[in-house]
Structure 1
Amino acid sequence: MIQEFQTPPAHHLYYAIFLLIEKECEVEIGKLGTYSFQRGVYVYVGSAKRNLKKRIERHICIEKKKRWHMDYIRPYGTILKIITYDDSLSECELAGKFIAKGKILVPRMGSSDCKCPSHFIYLGTPALPLTDEYIKSFNYK
């Protein structure tokens, strides 16, 4: 579980939040509708052109007014890890790396402002290790 989030480097614009959902649940994701979520690890890819730390701190908080798709699912999961990225790849390219190794359960989640199929990807069972080696397997710094 995330205890405290450190300030990301100033040149970082993108983030990946790894969320563990321990019990199957049904959640209404704003205008996208109601979806069933399996137990397991998910990743949410996002960006903040200004104040990345503030955006991530907002996602860490559970009780808040719902604005982003992540706000709807956040109360049902535990944040395992947060990684920030520079602009070596775009937000959509980064999401694509995770999509290639995962499964989309909610089409358009987190990607309403682009043409990506989703920015919220199911990665597998809770036993999935979120090691640095696993993260590097996405060929991203």
Structure 2
Amino acid sequence: MSTIDFEINKEYCRVITPSQLTPDKNWISYSLYIRVDEVEYIRVGKLGSFRFAPGDYIYSGSARRGISARVNRHLRQEKKLRWHIDYLLAAPSVQITRVRLSTASECRLVAEGGGAVVVSGFGASDCSNSCGSHLRCLSC
């Protein structure tokens, strides 16, 4: 498994361009390292409403084609709420602190990332590996 990390500064939202990615790598998945600074009560689409405690979270997703576009979409403030992660990222005290791209599957990233399941089914609607959730709390 190969990985590449990008630190994200709250003041300056870094854009990841395809030219920054090693061309010989097949980047297919990503992990967003997320910080929640205050308690947030968030309605997550059809999953329902949930309490997110302050702490550090990790979310893993995939984008077999156009991974830089997917990650940059997550980094944007203004966007249509489409995926579960969009609802969390729209909350005022939530920010992405780091992005990791990987050649491994998103399910492998979830398995190796550790942490506790926060919302069952979060980001895992189409998961066939019984991950339970692609969002984990690392320090809540």
State the TM-score, normalizing by the size of structure 2.
0.81
Specify the code of the residue in structure 2 equivalent to 1:78.
Answer: Q
1:103 matched residue in structure 2: 116
Specify the code of the residue in structure 2 equivalent to 1:117.
Answer: G
2:63 matched residue in structure 1: 48
1:86 matched residue in structure 2: 103
Of the three residues 33, 36, 57, the one matched with 2:72 is 57
Residue 20 in structure 1 maps to residue 35 in structure 2: yes
2:4 matched residue in structure 1: none
Q: Is the 8 A contact 2:60 2:109 kept in 1?
A: yes
Specify the code of the residue in structure 1 equivalent to 2:137.
Answer: Y
What is the CA-CA distance between 1:6 and the residue it aligns to? 3.0
Query: 110-119 or 3-12: which moved more?
Result: 3-12
CA-to-aligned-CA distance 1:1-42 (integer Å, 9 cap, x gap):
443133333411110000100000100000110000000011
Distance (whole Å) between structure 1 residues aligned to residue 64 and residue 74 of structure 2:
16
Aligned residues: 121
| Secondary structure of the corresponding residue to residue 124 of structure 1 | coil
Alignment of 1:126-137 (within 5 A): none
1:35 matched residue in structure 2: 50
2:82 matched residue in structure 1: 67
Distance (whole Å) between structure 2 residues aligned to residue 72 and residue 60 of structure 1:
13
Q: Is the 8 A contact 2:16 2:72 kept in 1?
A: no
CA-to-aligned-CA distance 1:70-100 (integer Å, 9 cap, x gap):
100002211110010013xx211211112xx
What is the CA-CA distance between 1:46 and the residue it aligns to? 0.4
Specify the code of the residue in structure 2 equivalent to 1:13.
Answer: I
Q: Is the 8 A contact 2:16 2:71 kept in 1?
A: no
Distance (whole Å) between structure 1 residues aligned to residue 115 and residue 82 of structure 2:
25
Q: CA RMSD in A?
A: 1.4
Which one has a larger percent strand, Structure 1 or Structure 2?
2
| Secondary structure of the corresponding residue to residue 117 of structure 2 | coil
How many percent of aligned residue pairs carry the same amino acid? 33
- Structure 2: 5+ residue stretches without partners: 1-7
- Structure 1: 5+ residue stretches without partners: 126-141
| Secondary structure of the corresponding residue to residue 5 of structure 1 | coil
State the TM-score, normalizing by the size of structure 1.
0.80
Of the three residues 10, 22, 27, the one matched with 1:9 is 22
